[in-house]
Structure 1
Amino acid sequence: MIEGKGKKSNEKHFRSSTGMSFIELMNELKRMRVQMRYFREIQKESELLDAEYYQIVRMQKRGELTLFELPDDTSESAEKT
């Protein structure tokens, strides 16, 4: 940063126009960067889940998915455990 006679005046003007000091602004931007990174990761996961869902729906419409049938007598398997 360039030091000079107008430094105090510039800081005062910056604070009055933004409501925060330059350091406070930098810290806020760093926090926002971390939040944006997490948002991008969540967005990618959401897009992947959407793609998988639509693929399953397409397969189901084409009859490519088989349904699993549950055994009729579940009490027998409960006694074995």
Structure 2
Amino acid sequence: MPPKQEYHHVDERGTSASTPFLCLAFKLLQLVSSDEILDEYLNFGGEKFKYLRALAVFYIRLTRRDKDMDQKLEPFLEDKRKLKRKETE
């Protein structure tokens, strides 16, 4: 098993640890997730786990062409659930 990696980013406030959401998004980018897996995250997982759906939507927006992205994400525009935002120090 590879050692645990920590990712840091630099913003206007200096260096800070990345959020778990960004770490998961980075891991999805490394794995190059298939459409079947993303569909499962959006449909089944998304009803129970709003952050899983948000992660899948974020990944699709980063990796798909405009036409494909619009087609896949249009049914989810009505999902108005709120996501918590991590406050920084």
Asked if Structure 1 and Structure 2 have the same fold, meaning a TM-score greater than 0.5 normalized by the shorter chain, the answer is: no
Larger % of strand: which?
2
TM-score band (shorter)? under 0.3
TM-score normalised by length of structure 1? 0.24
Normalized per residue, the structure richer in helix is 1
Higher relative contact order (CA 8 A, sep 6+): 2
